[in-house]
Amino acid sequence: MTGAQIRLLLADDHPVVRAGLRAVLQTEPGMEVVAEAATAEEAVARAARGGVDVVLMDLQFGPGMGGAEATALITARPGAPRVLVVTTYDTDADTLPAIEAGATGYLLKDAPPEDLADAVRTAAAGRTALAPSVADRLMARLRAPATRLTRRETEVLVLVAEGLSNQAVGRRLHLTEGTVKSHLARVYAKLDVDSRTAAVAVAAELGLIRR
């Protein structure tokens, strides 16, 4: 970070959300919103141009690149800005890919303005800033690793929850149907269930996938 100002890039496909974030953060001492992006692709391109210290990144955009992929591309560059995810979702299916992609923090959109400002400062300093519900879930996963689903198992279960058949899941993820069945068998064992419906219900209850 250069100087005392924390230079911010707001990446969200909803203009009202960007306006709300700008309204909160522009009034904070030592913060300046220098750019906005309506797509993940725009965010990656703008971050690459430099002059940004923290990117506030949504996870869900329209068609095209998602926030986790954009985060990975942004943080892979030398001297990259920090990425603070600001989203509506706190399931494992959302948080883990974002954190694995290099996000420094993860905050929910219903956070109080002061928590948002604190998270930005924390991220700018290179420290981790997590919403309490996200931190609690990560701690629970560490305490109960037996129920932890791999990223691929989570991806399979998310598509199953959308109603896709094993064959369709395989096509979407470029896996054989047998591999999909193997992933589901491990999911069943970890969640102690014996059906697709039960797996989806338990995973949603545990916050592994969205309801």
Give the strand pairing for 54-57 and 6-11.
parallel
Amino acid, single-letter form, for residue 157: L
Q: Worst-scoring range by mean pLDDT, 8-12, 22-26, 59-63, 103-107?
A: 59-63
Domains (ranges, CATH) in the chain? 6-140 (3.40.50.2300), 145-205 (1.10.10.10)
CB-based contact 200:161 (threshold 8 Å): yes
Single out the residue of 155, 204, 147, 144 nearest to residue 183, CA to CA.
Answer: 155
What pLDDT, on the 0 to 100 scale, is given for residue 51? 95
Secondary structure of residue 199 in the 3-state scheme: helix
26 sits in the region (left: phi over 0; alpha: psi -120 to 50; else beta) called alpha
pLDDT, one tens digit per residue, over 86-99 is 999 888 788 888 98
Average pLDDT estimate for 9-27: 95
pLDDT, one tens digit per residue, over 34-88 is 999 999 999 999 999 999 999 999 999 988 899 999 999 999 998 999 999 999 9
Global confidence as pTM: 0.73
